[in-house]
Amino acid sequence: VSVAIALAFVPLVLALALRSRHWVVLVARVALGWLRDRLSSVPREHRALQYLLTHAVPGDPRHVLLTLDQWSRRCEHLSCVGPEKGRVVERVLSARSPQRVLELGTSCGYGAVLLARALPPGARLLTVERDPQRAAMAEKVIRLAGFDERTVQLIVGPSEEVIPQLRSRHRMDTTDFILMEHGKSCYERDLRLLERHRLLAPGATVMADHVLVPGAPRFLRYARGSGRFRCRLHRATLEYCQGITDGIAE
Ligand SMILES: C[S@@+](CC[C@H](N)C(=O)[O-])C[C@H]1O[C@@H](n2cnc3c(N)ncnc32)[C@H](O)[C@@H]1O
């Protein structure tokens, strides 16, 4: 009788495994990257950079992004805006044509290159990363893609310290386009901080990635409930993971 009961569960277990296979693959890829970080003396960002230096065409931002996509699909998972959500960001940014753009969370520089590529002439991007090792890699990626300091400036420090200094230390009086891609728990705090310091230009666009996976419910509640923002959620595949739907908020 117990064998019969156990066998009755087999289809259920198989169905569950099949349904969650994309998650299993994602968790395995992230765990593998984490393990490599622990076992190797070369951090993940540098492994990605080495791949870029041997495969990407310098001065060609499109090719730099394609090479990072390739590295992430073939080698290790990269948490970034990625190609599908990236197209949404590019579309919104091109429609707004902003002059002062802010990115929170640079990591390896994927988002910075993507934003810089879509900037109108004369526009400036400030990108903020708190981890000095990642920032050093991102700096190389951004310069490899062909953007100089006047177009893309990287600031090393936590967003909660950098935001209050944007006006006085970084010559950014207000910003018209923000991409949030740092700690999901920081989104709401940093949006409030930008408002408190009057750094949002009238009609500014704020985009926040990963609002569904891993999710930023407090941020969404605040943005939707404050009455000061018009909110839209763009659903798109999580970077490099067919079968998992994420969202980017506008
Ligand atoms: C998902 S990654 C960003 C991906 C990046 N935008 C891209 O497209 O390649 C998140 C990054 O945010 C950084 N970060 C997290 N909290 C931060 C904070 N409070 N201030 C600045 N950077 C932060 C992390 O160190 C990490 O590198």
pLDDT (tens digit, 9 = 90+) per residue, 96-129? Answer: 999 999 999 999 999 999 999 999 999 999 999 9
CB of residue 79 inside a 6 A radius of ligand 1: yes
pLDDT confidence of residue 221:
97
Contact 177, 101 (CB under 8 A): yes
Ligand 1 center–CA 105 separation, angstroms:
3
Give the position, in ligand 1's atom list, of the atom nearest the Cα of 78: 9
CB of residue 158 inside a 6 A radius of ligand 1: yes
DSSP state at residue 34: H
Q: Which of 129, 144, 155 to mutate to test the pocket of ligand 1 (most atoms within 8 A of CB)?
A: 129
Ligand 1 center–CA 3 separation, angstroms:
50
What is the C-alpha separation between 188 and 93, in angstroms, rounded? 21
pLDDT confidence of residue 44:
82
Token couple for 84: 């599908």
Give the position, in ligand 1's atom list, of the atom nearest the Cα of 81: 8
DSSP state at residue 226: S
pLDDT confidence of residue 103:
98
Contact 201, 195 (CB under 8 A): no
Strand, coil or helix: what is 245?
A: strand
Contact 73, 125 (CB under 8 A): no
pLDDT confidence of residue 14:
82
Q: Which of 171-209 are b and which e, b meaning 16 or more Cβ less than 10 Å from the residue's Cβ?
A: ebebbbbbbbbbbbebbbbbbebbeeeebbeeebbbbbb
Give the pTM. Answer: 0.92
pLDDT confidence of residue 16:
82
CB of residue 138 inside a 6 A radius of ligand 1: no
Give the position, in ligand 1's atom list, of the atom nearest the Cα of 131: 25
Q: How many helices (H) and strands (E) does the chain have?
A: 11, 7
Token couple for 88: 């949404």
CB of residue 162 inside a 6 A radius of ligand 1: no
Ligand 1 center–CA 190 separation, angstroms:
13
CA-closest residue to ligand 1 atom 13:
105
pLDDT confidence of residue 175:
98
Ligand 1 center–CA 106 separation, angstroms:
5
What is the C-alpha separation between 98 and 89, in angstroms, rounded? 12
pLDDT lower than 50: segments of the chain? none
Note the CATH number of domain 82-249: 3.40.50.150
> Any bridge partners for residue 208, and if so which?
180, 249
Domain extents in the chain: 2-74, 82-249
pLDDT confidence of residue 198:
98
Ligand 1 center–CA 103 separation, angstroms:
9
Closest CA relative to residue 100, chosen from 168, 189, 171: 171
Closest CA relative to residue 103, chosen from 6, 190, 16: 190
Contact 239, 79 (CB under 8 A): yes
Closest CA relative to residue 183, chosen from 154, 219, 147, 152: 219
Ligand 1 center–CA 107 separation, angstroms:
5
CB of residue 128 inside a 6 A radius of ligand 1: yes
CA-closest residue to ligand 1 atom 2:
107
